[in-house]
């Protein structure tokens, strides 16, 4: 092959890899609170920080004294290698990321259908070694099977993620009120990007700047004191055009019940 053709081939391959990595890295691992307000632990006592080697990796949510949920993609590092359970811990009981009470994990169980860099079955159960010894920590209620989540209804998403697109993590827990998006509308929005399934629920805002963002993945989407979703993926942070996509918790109750302690 002539050198010029070889160079053109190399450039084309590099361009493809760059586009692929940008699209799926940004889409699936948006780890994704913009446009919200400071939260306090009396209202968000179930909110946890999932730490990888003691550094905030993702959000998590407490559902029993020793069980939490997070997004399955949060259990992989930047190279898509599974993180060892001994390198993981959760912290709770404080709205400040650099405070709170920590507990190591005994085990993690990713949903069997989850594949790295894919948006499907993005849920995992975290089993804590002990209870979190902090009176500001308490679990949230799970939804009923086939719960009705009405389009247009209000929900809250919370976390320590970026307050702006590509911004730094927030040291203070924030939340924002958003609206559940009609399933069919969300399917249409993402039809040329990636499939939105019945195991997902979408929520967003009609105005730019209100959304989960980098560092919020695995955290809770709540409604009326109940956990309805887990922050999973989205196209951008804070874009009114693209709502956030959440793992729909009521679709995974059998999986959760088989591991909760």
Residue of 217, 232, 239, 250 with catalytic role: 217
Cα–Cα dist 16/255, whole Å: 37
Residue of 122, 199, 211, 216 with catalytic role: 122
Burial class (CB in 10 A: 0-12, 13-18, 19+), 234: buried
Q: Is 122 a catalytic residue?
A: yes
Burial class (CB in 10 A: 0-12, 13-18, 19+), 176: buried
Which H/E stretch holds residue 253? helix 253-257
Q: Output the six-digit token pair for 7.
A: 């160079």
**Between the CA of residue 92 and those of 16, 89, 242, what are the distances in Å?**
41, 10, 30
Range list of H helices, 157-251: 183-189
Angle made by CA atoms 192, 236, 165, in degrees to the nearest 5: 165
Burial class (CB in 10 A: 0-12, 13-18, 19+), 138: middle
Residue of 56, 73, 211, 216 with catalytic role: 73
CA contacts within 13 A on the Cβ side of 83: 26
Q: Is 217 a catalytic residue?
A: yes
145 neighbors 16 (Cβ within 8 angstroms): no
Cα–Cα dist 181/192, whole Å: 18
Catalytic residues: 73, 122, 217
């Amino acid at each position: 092959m002539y050198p010029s053709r070889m160079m053109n081939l190399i450039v084309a391959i590099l361009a493809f890899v760059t586009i692929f990595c940008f699209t799926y890295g940004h889409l699936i691992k948006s780890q994704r609170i913009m446009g919200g307000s400071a939260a306090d632990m009396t209202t968000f006592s179930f909110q946890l920080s999932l730490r990888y080697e003691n550094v905030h990796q993702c959000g998590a949510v407490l559902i029993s004294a020793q069980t939490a949920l997070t997004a399955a993609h949060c259990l992989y590092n930047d190279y898509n290698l599974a993180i060892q359970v001994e390198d993981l811990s959760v912290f709770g009981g404080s709205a400040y990321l650099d405070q709170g009470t920590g507990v190591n994990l005994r085990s993690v169980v990713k949903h069997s259908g989850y594949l790295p860099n894919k948006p499907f079955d993005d849920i995992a159960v975290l089993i804590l070694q002990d209870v979190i010894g902090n009176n500001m920590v308490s679990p949230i209620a799970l939804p009923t099977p086939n719960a009705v989540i009405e389009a247009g209804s209000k929900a809250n998403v919370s976390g320590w993620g970026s307050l702006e697109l590509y911004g730094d993590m927030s040291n203070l827990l924030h939340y924002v009120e958003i609206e559940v998006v009609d399933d069919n509308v969300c399917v249409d929005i993402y039809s040329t990007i990636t499939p939105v399934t019945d195991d997902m629920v979408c929520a967003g805002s009609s105005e730019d700047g209100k959304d989960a963002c980098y560092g919020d993945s695995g955290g809770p989407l709540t409604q009326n004191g109940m956990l309805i979703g887990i922050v999973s993926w989205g196209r951008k942070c804070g874009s009114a055009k693209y709502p956030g996509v959440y793992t729909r918790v009521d679709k995974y109750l059998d999986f959760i019940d088989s591991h909760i302690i």
